Amino acid sequence: MRTLQYQNFKNQRVIIRVDFNVPLNDSQEVTDLTRIEAANPTIQHIISQGGSCILLSHLGRPKGNDPKLSLSHILKSVSSVLGLPVDFCSTTIGEEAEAATKALQPGGVLLMENLRYHEEEMSGDITFSKNLSKLGTFYVNDAFGTAHRAHASTSIIAQFFKEKKCFGSLLEKEVLAIEKVMDKGESPILAILGGAKVSSKITIIESLLDKIDHLIIGGGMVYTFTKALGGKVGNSICEPDYCEYALELLEKAKTKGVKIHLPVDVLAGDDFSNNASQKTFDVMEIPEGWEAMDAGPKSQTIFNDIILGCKTILWNGPMGVFEFPNFAKGTIAAGNSIAAATKAGAFSLVGGGDSVAAVKQFGFENKMSYISTGGGAMLESLEGKTLPGIAALNK
């Protein structure tokens, strides 16, 4: 891996592909600085080594030059997180943009306009990529969140920098964290998969089965499995078309020596709402009119014992409808158990949008070994795919 610390940035104008796709409120103010903070170490390193930084990012999915999605809205936040003056360039490529980047002095930082104002960014257009490359003398990719895209700025651009390209420190950390689970994990290795649907996690489950010792299945996925096993699911979320697949998966796990753990009891509501009446049922005996929305107390205890017995833990997807506080206990319990295992020396990686949201909401952020910043990129890595943004840096 070409990493940041072995490069010479003195007097280099460094194009850094960052992921500043941050949430904005109706007044176009940044409501969560996490992604900007995550890019800060790379920027500070390059500046401390005598380079200047040209920050490239996308924001949202604009149709044309939508002023609401101009990166100028985030300029103040970027400057305040970096603790540095940051200039803004209202074009992304072309003469004006090149002149602005050439005028940069060592230590200078320039934020360029939204890459996705140009449709050539997403189509990975080669001429557009070449023009982007003219903005700087060195290319660093620090945008894990878009590393699974073969876009101009995330992948295609890299070929115009023979040796002068490398991983940013965030991208490096993300790749190492995934490697630590998928290739170098200390046994026993546990994956906890929750979330809404089996259908969206199939390829992940398949590729994980070769790597792990235990799999806890939680969330709405559970009821496709229990229905397949002859259980009653009541009104719980279920994908009958995937029942056969669920049975195959249980068989596969058996032959590979992976222990699959489903909840034994569940907390159900008589309506899909926080204020629904609640009842706990055996997971195989959920009556009509009741929808299982969380792991029950017995399951929480069983899961806790499994989690505490493992040395490497991957968590993707909540254990229930955690957005409803009355159905969040199973997700909180899993978070507490993973935090305790981590404290006792296990390596824990949390990834995938909703589990990251849950971890932040319930205050586990500093109690996990690593929390991934990339949703789709993380999931594709777990599926065993080589991400285009990473492959391009290794060429």
Structure tokens at 243: 């029942």
Please spell the DSSP secondary structure of 317-352, one letter per residue: S-SS-TTSGGG-HHHHHHHHHHHHHHHTT-EEEE-S
335 belongs to the catalytic site: no
Q: Does 231 bind ligand AMP (CB under 6 A)?
A: no
Q: Does 296 bind ligand AMP (CB under 6 A)?
A: no
Applying the rule CB under 6 A, the residues between 52 and 71 that interact with ligand AMP are none
Q: Does 389 bind ligand AMP (CB under 6 A)?
A: no
Report the residue from 46, 97, 293, 338 that binds ligand AMP according to the rule CB under 6 A: 293
Identified catalytic residue from 60, 107, 353, 384 = 353
The CB-side HSE value for 333 (13 A sphere, CA atoms) comes to: 21
35 belongs to the catalytic site: yes
Stretch that binds ligand AMP, among 153-161, 183-191, 318-326, 362-370 (CB under 6 A): 318-326
Residue with smaller CB distance to ligand AMP, 156 or 208: 208
Q: Which amino acid is at 383?
A: E
DSSP class of residue 242 equals: G
13 belongs to the catalytic site: no
Q: Mask 156-195, x = binds ligand AMP (CB under 6 A)?
A: --------------------------------------xx
Q: What's the start-to-end Cα distance of the chain, in Å? A: 10
Q: Does 330 bind ligand AMP (CB under 6 A)?
A: no
Residue with smaller CB distance to ligand AMP, 101 or 373: 373
Q: What is the 3-state secondary structure (H, E, C) of 71-109?
A: HHHHHHHHHHHHCCCCEEECCCCCHHHHHHHHCCCCCCE
330 belongs to the catalytic site: no
Cα–Cα distance for residue pair 179/188, rounded to 1 Å: 16
Report the residue from 125, 206, 285, 323 that binds ligand AMP according to the rule CB under 6 A: 323
Min CB(339)–ligand AMP separation in Å:
20
**Residue carrying the six token digits 């699911």:** 233
Cα–Cα distance for residue pair 127/134, rounded to 1 Å: 11
Q: Does 321 bind ligand AMP (CB under 6 A)?
A: yes
Residue with smaller CB distance to ligand AMP, 51 or 320: 320
Identified catalytic residue from 130, 134, 197, 259 = 197
Residue with smaller CB distance to ligand AMP, 136 or 219: 219
Min CB(37)–ligand AMP separation in Å:
24
CB 316 within 8 A of CB 309: no
Of 143, 164, 169, residue with least CA distance to 41 = 169
Q: Does 359 bind ligand AMP (CB under 6 A)?
A: no
Backbone φ and ψ for 367, nearest 5 degrees, come out as -110, 0
Cα–Cα distance for residue pair 42/51, rounded to 1 Å: 11
Residue with smaller CB distance to ligand AMP, 196 or 260: 196
CB 32 within 8 A of CB 22: yes
Q: How many residues bind ligand AMP (CB under 6 A)?
A: 17
Catalytically active residues, by annotation: 35, 197, 353, 376
Kindly list the residues in this chain that would bind ligand AMP in the complex (CB under 6 A). Answer: 194-197, 200, 219-220, 237, 292-293, 317-318, 320-321, 323, 352, 354
